[in-house]
Amino acid sequence: MKKSDLEARRKQLNCVSSDSENDFDEIVSSARSPNDTAKITVIPLERLVEYSDDTFESITGRPQPFKAHSQESLESLSKSIKENGVINPIIVRPLDDGKYQILAGRNRARASRICGKTDIPAITRADIDDIGAAMIMLDTNLEQRPHLSYSEKAYAYKMRVDLQRSQGKRTDIEGGKKIDVLSEVGRDNNDSRRTVAYLIRLTYLILPLIDLIDDGKLGFKIGVAISYLSTETQNLLYSEVIMAGEKIRQSQIKELKVLDECGAVNIDSLKAIFRKPIKPQISSVTISGERLKEYADILPDNKEVERLFLEFLKSYRSSVKQTVG
């Protein structure tokens, strides 16, 4: 089922009253995808098995990137499902033993059990292989979790891009034209190609640094710049500079990168960069015309304003030097 078709079904489901289970069943049981490989049905919860973290890691080579929902979140979701039903169907694929593996919606299934439900609406995908299953898991979490951390989104994008590229010609080329996977992943998640690329760079950081970004203690763009440094230099930067409370600037990371590429980073060279006095830089000063109105009679034009301002600064500097002396 195409994403646009699924959204249309969701809008239709949103119009169904929570008290009208018969109407709901009629809607979901009659839905079919254009190619008839996906359909929405009501499936008993006892026939569902979860898509385990171990299964995901065996396919991607990495642990799944999303943090587990807390018990409090599950109970809140359970209360919502009890009152309103499951609005967004889960996604499953059939198994050989007659059961269904949950590809998306594990928490909805868990919450449904908590509130005493015995079945759940599901989109059945019989055409999904193992790589496709992992991609669905990533896509639905990216779409439905609005407050992902930097690290969750970074690793999810990295895995999503790697999985799509691993499928080779089936996804990299369409109609004889090469697909830009970064742009496609960004478009599916309302992010620019640059944002996707920057986020993926965070996966090259050592874990303590990406944790600092998640906690808001290290800037995102600074983190991207640091990601181009070797692991050894990142560890040294973390232990000797960041843990010491030193502020980090882009210009310092650029200087460090030059040394890193030459293999010349050590404690002494690191301290030389980050303990070097930084001259304040003023690119421009703006004074609104509204604030200058009362001086209009003595300020004929902008050049005169600039001249007087510079004369004042010279005079002020002299007075400061005399005071210090």
**Mean pLDDT, all residues of the chain:** 80
Burial (CB < 10 A; 0-12, 13-18, 19+), residue 143, is middle
Q: What is the band of 33 on the pLDDT scale with cuts at 50, 70, 90? A: very low
Residue 81 DSSP SS3: helix
For the cut 80, the answer to whether the pLDDT of residue 9 exceeds it is no
Domains of the chain and any CATH numbers: 3-147 (3.90.1530.10), 215-274 (no CATH), 289-324 (no CATH)
d(C-alpha 92, C-alpha 112), whole Å: 15
Strands (E), 110-168: 119-125
d(C-alpha 91, C-alpha 145), whole Å: 16
For 71-106, how does the pLDDT look when each residue is reduced to its tens digit (9 = 90+)?
A: 888 899 999 999 999 988 999 999 999 999 998 888
The alpha carbon dihedral of 38, 41, 47, 53 has a sign of positive
d(C-alpha 79, C-alpha 84), whole Å: 9
For the cut 80, the answer to whether the pLDDT of residue 188 exceeds it is yes
Q: Which helix (H) or strand (E) holds 49?
A: strand 48-50
For residues 23 and 264, the model is more confident at 264
For 204-221, how does the pLDDT look when each residue is reduced to its tens digit (9 = 90+)?
A: 999 999 999 999 999 999
For the cut 90, the answer to whether the pLDDT of residue 317 exceeds it is no
Spatial CA neighbour of 168 closest among 196, 201, 131: 131
d(C-alpha 48, C-alpha 122), whole Å: 10
Q: What percent of the chain has pLDDT over 70?
A: 81
For the cut 70, the answer to whether the pLDDT of residue 282 exceeds it is no
Local structure of residue 192 (DSSP, 8 states) = -
pLDDT reported for residue 269: 93
Query: DSSP secondary structure string, 237-302?
Result: HIIIIITTT----HHHHHHHHHHHHTT---HHHHHHHHTS------------HHHHGGGTTT--SH
Spatial CA neighbour of 217 closest among 181, 252, 188, 247: 247
Pairing of strands 177-178, 173-174: antiparallel
User: CB–CB of 237/229 below 8 Å?
Assistant: yes
d(C-alpha 98, C-alpha 183), whole Å: 38
For 147-157, how does the pLDDT look when each residue is reduced to its tens digit (9 = 90+)?
A: 899 999 999 99
Tallying the residues shown for the chain, one arrives at 325
pTM of the model: 0.65
